[in-house]
Amino acid sequence: MLTSPRKPFTRFFLAELLVLLAIPAARGQQSEPPALNPFGSRAEREDQKRDDAVPGFVEMSDGKVHPGQFMLTRDARLKIFDEQQQKHREIPLKAIKRIDCTVQKEWVEEEWRFKENASDEKYFTGRSYPSREYTHNITLQNGQKIDGTLSGIVYVRADPAAEPERYLLHKRDKGNPGTDLKSLVYVRSIQLGAKAFEEGRHKAAGTASQKASAATGKGRS
C-alpha cells in the first residue's frame, strides 16, 4: 500500500503555522510594560518611588498641620488663572515655594429641592449648608507671585508605607446639609522645600502635644 506524501507535509505545515502565529503574540506581550500605579500596593510603592515628590507641609483652616512628600498625578501641573495676565497657566510643583489661600466670600445657603420630577416648583427642606469661594496666591522659587483662581489636587504622603492623603485646591466649595462654616475645612497654605518639611514636623508635633495635654486636663477634671 502506498502512503500519501501529503500527510507529513500537512503536519509539518500546520506546526510551522502555529509557531508563526505565536510569535507576534509573544512579541506583543514583551513590548507592553506593566501598568504603573503611583499609589498602588506597598511593594509597588517601594519599587516605583516618585522622583518628582517634593517635601513640605500643608496647614488646614482648623490649625492641623500635615508634613510629608507632595505629589501631583504623574506629568500633571497645577492650573491657575493668572488675574494679572488674564490667562491660564500651568505650574510644575517643583517650581512652587508656597501656596496661600484667601477666603473671598462665605455664606450659609438654604437647601431647596424640586417637589417632583420634571416640575419647576421647589420646596425648602429646612436645612442649610455652608458655601465658600477662594482665591490663591502662588509664590515661585524665584520669588515671582501669581494671584488667581486655582484648580488642582495635591497628594501628600506622610509615610512611605501608607496611602497618600488627597487635598483639593479649587475656587468654590460647599459642605454637607446641616453643617456650618467652621466644619467646612479648607487648605489654608502649602509650603514646600526641605526647610518647610522640618518646620511642618515641629508644628505637627506641637499640635499633637497640645492635644495630649488638653485630653489629660479633661481627664483630671
Contact between 142 and 150 (Cβ < 8 Å): no
Q: pTM higher than 0.75, yes or no?
A: no
**Residue-wise burial string across 87-119, b where 16 or more C-beta atoms lie within 10 A, e elsewhere:** eeeebebeebbbbbbeeeeeeeeeeeeeeeeee
Q: What are phi and psi of 3, to 5 degrees?
A: -90, 135
pLDDT at 33: 42
CA–CA dist 87, 90 (Å, integer)? 10
What is the CA 94 to chain-centroid distance, rounded? 16
* pLDDT at position 59 over 90: yes
CA–CA dist 33, 143 (Å, integer)? 41
Q: Say which range, 44-58, 62-76, 141-155, has the weakest mean pLDDT.
A: 44-58
pLDDT tens digits, residue range 137-174? 999 999 999 999 998 999 999 998 889 999 999 999 99
pLDDT at 217: 60
pLDDT at 92: 94
Instruction: Go through the chain and tell me how many residues it has.
Output: 221
Q: Is 115 left (phi over 0), alpha (psi -120 to 50) or beta?
A: alpha
- What are the extents of the domains in the chain? 50-107+133-216
pLDDT at 47: 41
Contact between 93 and 71 (Cβ < 8 Å): yes
Angle at 191 between CA 188 and CA 193, to 5 degrees: 170
